[in-house]
Amino acid sequence: MERIHMNYLRDIIYRLRSGESERQISRDLGISRPTVHKYKLMAEMQGFLETGKGLPGIDQLEVVLGPAPKPPLKPSTLEPYHEIVKKMLHQGIEMTAIWQRLRDNYGYTGSYSSVRRYVRRLRPTNGEDAVIRVHTEPGEELQVDFGSVGKLFDPKCGRLRTAYVFVATLCYSRHQYAELVFDQKVSTWISLHKRAFEAFGGVPKRVKPDNLKAAVLKILVHDPILGEAYRRMALHYGFLISPTAPAQPQQKGKVENGVRYVKRNFMAGQDFADIGFANQHLKRWVYEVAGVRDHGTTHQAPLFLFGEYEQAALQPLPETDFELCEIRRVKVHPDCHVVIDGSYYSVPHIWIGRELDAQIYERRVEIYAGQELISTHVRLRGKGRWSTRMEDYPPHKADYLIKTPQYCRRTAARLGPATLQVVESLLEDRPLDRLRSVQAILRLEETVGAERLEAACARAVFYGDMRYRRIKEILNAALDRVPLPEAPVVPVQKSFTFARPSSEFFEPVGEKSC
């Protein structure tokens, strides 16, 4: 059986410390009750449920659990009948009938349990239980929703863009926080929660994302890596995440749709100049219209219930602000950089082609390989910007960027006049094309020393061949130790003459050929 992710395991331990029942944890996290019970017993044996201690780290949990079990290698016995099963499902045939027909018509010998598991893999089942109205105590639960509200003008880019409304509704009083935004990024989602808690002046015990259609909510709730920023925020503020799965109406404690209410009662028939103007009106509308209405379920004004009962029941805001904005998976490209929001951050070249985790804060970016921090950068603002550390490149690549032509000239001057003459000669024509050759010549000092390199360059200058290959051959043959001739070698200049006179190629002036 596949082991749950370590982030889920830490969440289970945190919830057990908070007094959550195994049944509630199973519903919230989508993990079976036997699995929750198994990890509860493990946590009790290891002392992880004792209050006053910090949550165990990932490394500590991995030591306790040991290596993860390998996935089964045996494929399903239904694989040869894949298309047949799909056709039967499309026809609406029940699983028991599919099993029976496979046995009778196709000679299938597997069990009904195998068919059930295979069908659930192809088509997850949805419950059809009755909707249950859940009543909550003051400060117990906050429902949050996210949805599209049409086009609004964005003054930053000067055009209309699709806008989304974030609505947070306290379940006891029905008091709301609402804000219009232009994206559904995880960082935006977390910032909206922070502003909602500040507007309420406190934090509820539980937050329930009410609609998982938005991609950001699916990531936050169901992805153990990308949703880690939201889970850390929950730990920081002291609330539990209790998601409502799609197509599961029996889990929805409150039937009022916050997005629909804002669209029908605030956005409908309105024409705002831009999103900033719309948010100003939305804030007033929440307090002057939505907050004082006679609610259809409570038959009291939300603001009255909030002020009289719910605000005092909320948990206090933490003393320190929550910094982490987002955790996302990034890939290291061949140029030793990862891309985050259109900007480029370098990581050591040994991670090229690997996927890493980037933790994005307000002012910095941290890049991890598992639990190991491998790179930290100041967060860049705007697309197309680069944060590069030369030590992240392979040495032979970094040399080309660090050892510029000016650097090479200074180094050659230190070694001697002959070395400087070689470098100047090579860089005089096409300096960028010859730069690698110059760097290679100067690197010879590391193996032969400055004195021998200067003598080899002097010999190369004397004979007029200053290529890297020639200097390397001089050193290999130890010719740098042989004295030079007294008279310089003058290269032989070959002269060329035409074999035919020029009159055969040009016509006299005034004459025309036929």
224 CB-side CA count, 13 A: 15
Residues 174 and 279 in one domain: yes
Domain count, the chain: 5
Rounded Cα gap, residues 311 and 326, in angstroms: 29
Helix axes 405-415, 431-443, angle to 10 degrees: 40
Residues 86 and 181 in one domain: no
- What size, in residues, is the chain? 514
Per-residue pLDDT, averaged over 39-50, amounts to: 87
What are φ and ψ of residue 140, in 5° steps? Answer: -80, -40
Per-residue pLDDT, averaged over 275-295, amounts to: 89
Domain hosting residue 299, numbered range: 141-313
Per-residue pLDDT, averaged over 144-156, amounts to: 87
Indicate whether 222 pLDDT > 80: no
Residue that finishes a domain, picked among 394, 427, 453: 394
Q: Is residue 133 part of a domain?
A: no
Q: Is residue 506 part of a domain?
A: no
Residues 369 and 227 in one domain: no
SS3 180: strand
Residues 219 and 283 in one domain: yes
Q: Is residue 320 part of a domain?
A: no
Per-residue pLDDT, averaged over 25-30, amounts to: 87
Per-residue pLDDT, averaged over 387-407, amounts to: 72
Residues 155 and 301 in one domain: yes
Q: Is residue 500 part of a domain?
A: no
Rounded Cα gap, residues 487 and 466, in angstroms: 19
DSSP string for 432-477: HHHHHHHHHHHHTHHHH-HHHHHHHHHHHHHHT---HHHHHHHHHT
Residue 218 pLDDT level (bands cut at 50, 70, 90): confident
Share of the chain above pLDDT 90, in %: 26
Inter-CA distances, 105 with 94, 99, 100, 505, Å? 16, 10, 8, 93
Residue that finishes a domain, picked among 336, 367, 394: 394
Q: Is residue 299 part of a domain?
A: yes
What are φ and ψ of residue 59, in 5° steps? Answer: -60, -40
Weakest mean pLDDT among 59-63, 249-253, 406-410, 452-456:
249-253
Three-state SS for 31-59 is CCHHHHHHHHHHHHHHCCCCCCCCCCCHH
Residue 311 pLDDT level (bands cut at 50, 70, 90): very high
What pLDDT score does 298 carry? 79
Q: Which two tokens stand for residue 312?
A: 């005092």
Indicate whether 246 pLDDT > 80: no
What are φ and ψ of residue 10, in 5° steps? Answer: -65, -35
Q: In what order do the strands lie in the sheet with 159-170?
A: 176-181, 159-170, 141-154, 206-209, 240-241
Per-residue pLDDT, averaged over 416-439, amounts to: 82
Rounded Cα gap, residues 355 and 330, in angstroms: 6
Residue 77 pLDDT level (bands cut at 50, 70, 90): confident
Residues 339 and 362 in one domain: yes
80 CB-side CA count, 13 A: 7
Residues 145 and 85 in one domain: no
8 A C-beta contact, residue 112 and residue 102: no
Residue that finishes a domain, picked among 360, 394, 428: 394
Residue 303 pLDDT level (bands cut at 50, 70, 90): very high
Q: Is residue 428 part of a domain?
A: yes
Residue 253 pLDDT level (bands cut at 50, 70, 90): very low
Residue 397 pLDDT level (bands cut at 50, 70, 90): low
Indicate whether 270 pLDDT > 90: no
For the question of whether the overall pTM of this predicted structure is more than 0.75, the answer is no
Residues 278 and 244 in one domain: yes
Per-residue pLDDT, averaged over 412-420, amounts to: 90
Q: Is residue 318 part of a domain?
A: no
Residue 512 pLDDT level (bands cut at 50, 70, 90): very low
Per-residue pLDDT, averaged over 151-166, amounts to: 90
Give 438-481 pLDDT, tens digit per residue: 888 888 988 899 999 999 999 999 888 888 888 999 899 888 88
Residues 36 and 99 in one domain: no
8 A C-beta contact, residue 250 and residue 129: yes
Indicate whether 126 pLDDT > 60: no
Residues forming a β-bridge with 121: none
Residue 1 pLDDT level (bands cut at 50, 70, 90): very low
What are φ and ψ of residue 160, in 5° steps? Answer: -75, 140
What pLDDT score does 495 carry? 53
3-state helix, strand, coil in the chain (%, to 5): 45, 15, 40
Rounded Cα gap, residues 138 and 171, in angstroms: 8
What pLDDT score does 252 carry? 47
Residues 306 and 221 in one domain: yes
Q: Is residue 354 part of a domain?
A: yes
Q: Which two tokens stand for residue 16?
A: 């057990």
What pLDDT score does 283 carry? 92
Residues 223 and 282 in one domain: yes
The CATH number of the domain where 186 resides is what?
3.30.420.10
Report strand pairing: 159-170 vs 141-154.
antiparallel
Residues 37 and 84 in one domain: no
DSSP string for 340-356: ETTEEEE--GGGTT-EE
8 A C-beta contact, residue 202 and residue 311: yes
Indicate whether 220 pLDDT > 80: no
